[in-house]
Amino acid sequence: MPDSLKTQSPTQFARVAVVAAGMVSPLGRGLSETLASLRTARDCVSRVTRFSVERCRCTTAGQVADSWLEDALPNDRKSRRLHRVSRMVIQALRELREQAPEFRPELTVVGTTSGGMSFGERYYRALQGPNARARKIPEWIANYPPQKPMVDALEACGLESPCQVIANACASGTNAIGVAFECIRSGRYERILTGGYDALAELVFVGFDSLQASTPDKCRPFDGARSGLVLGEGAALLALENLATAEARGAEILGEVVGYGLSTDNHHLTQPHPSGIGPRQAMERALASAQLEARAVDYINAHGTATPFNDAAEGRAIAELFHRVPVSSTKGMMGHSLGAAGAIEAVITLLALRHGFLPANINFRAPDPELALDIVANAPRATAPRVALSNSFGFGGTNASIALAARA
């Protein structure tokens, strides 16, 4: 625990521990595979195989292999009807439960953007197409609601919990963790399951390609010649618990969530305010929430989509608020998983704090002369970070940042 956190009054807020986590993403299935990919700065972006990309500028994405999901459920009729994102969430929740089998959430708060969007695509095409498969329509409709993957996972793991869904563009996963953190810190809850999920969908992929936000090149966050993002997919879940309660029962503590900040700049439908005021306010508020000064932060896992405007706005905010803090975006390795991104990147940041390294910002060739940043370029950096920020910023100027601390 950093000294600056120890000055906080123990009666003012409950402290919030992360007692377990699970994830599946292009980096691998589970925390061990993810850690191995991070340590080797592995590029997990590949040509899209789920649907045709012949007419798209961008042809690559970070994809979760179907083979990783085959043992998520039995091969029965009910299971075969589930969307693959349900299988991702089930895998993540099972890993979490293996670490903390006694963890039973009072509330579940998750972020996502598209839910079962690919089932929605099939449904509407079936209504218009000459070969409509009417018998499949109930399956498509049943899997369309965005909360369905989480409900499926809770059922598969024998858990019951009220479920809240936050759909706040690409900040969804981080906002979900932030809301869960605030609920426990306030004393209203002891244990909350939180995280985010999204699956690659053709409608979303083609939409980003049409906006020319996606790149036909490599995804190069913060590079002077960056030209756009690549999409990804995945699911990540975190078990948050009142720290005193967790310690009393002898739980293993992976780290702490110590602060949360959000802002909305409402500058443009898809572009951030060029001054970086939105990201800066989110980070400032996360620091204020954690009662930390900027100099206490050892690492920032940036939103870093590699689009010209987004990286410029975030980079300016970081450069103004911090003095040469190490920064990296892990999206070059795995793509941008939209509503899942904040949750996946929060787990990545926890792994960095727990195992003593800074994840790499791969595909980096030359710095942007307009951004005075210390980029963790192309290879992990061995160090011992104690406090880190994880940022997520979305369309419409929605911005969220969480502060995470290593276990003392």
Q: Within 10 A of 124 (CB to CB), how many other CB atoms are there? A: 12
| Contact between residue 61 and residue 335 where contact means Cβ atoms under 8 Å apart | yes
Catalytic residue (choose from 44, 56, 83, 336): 336
CA-nearest of 400, 18, 16, 29 to 235 is 29
303 is catalytic: yes
Cα–Cα–Cα angle for 117, 122, 128, rounded to 5 degrees: 130
Cα–Cα–Cα angle for 319, 166, 316, rounded to 5 degrees: 10
The span from the CA of 145 to the CA of 137, in Å, is: 14
Q: Which tokens go with 60?
A: 């690559």
| Contact between residue 282 and residue 263 where contact means Cβ atoms under 8 Å apart | yes
The string of DSSP letters for 112-142 reads -SSSSHHHHHHHHHHHHSTT--GGGHHHHHH
Catalytic residue (choose from 44, 56, 58, 170): 170
Sign of CA dihedral 407, 232, 274, 217: positive
| Contact between residue 158 and residue 93 where contact means Cβ atoms under 8 Å apart | no
Sign of CA dihedral 153, 334, 287, 405: positive
267 is catalytic: no
The span from the CA of 372 to the CA of 50, in Å, is: 39
Cα–Cα–Cα angle for 166, 171, 173, rounded to 5 degrees: 55
Q: Which tokens go with 120?
A: 């929605």
**Which sequence positions are flagged as catalytic?**
170, 303, 336
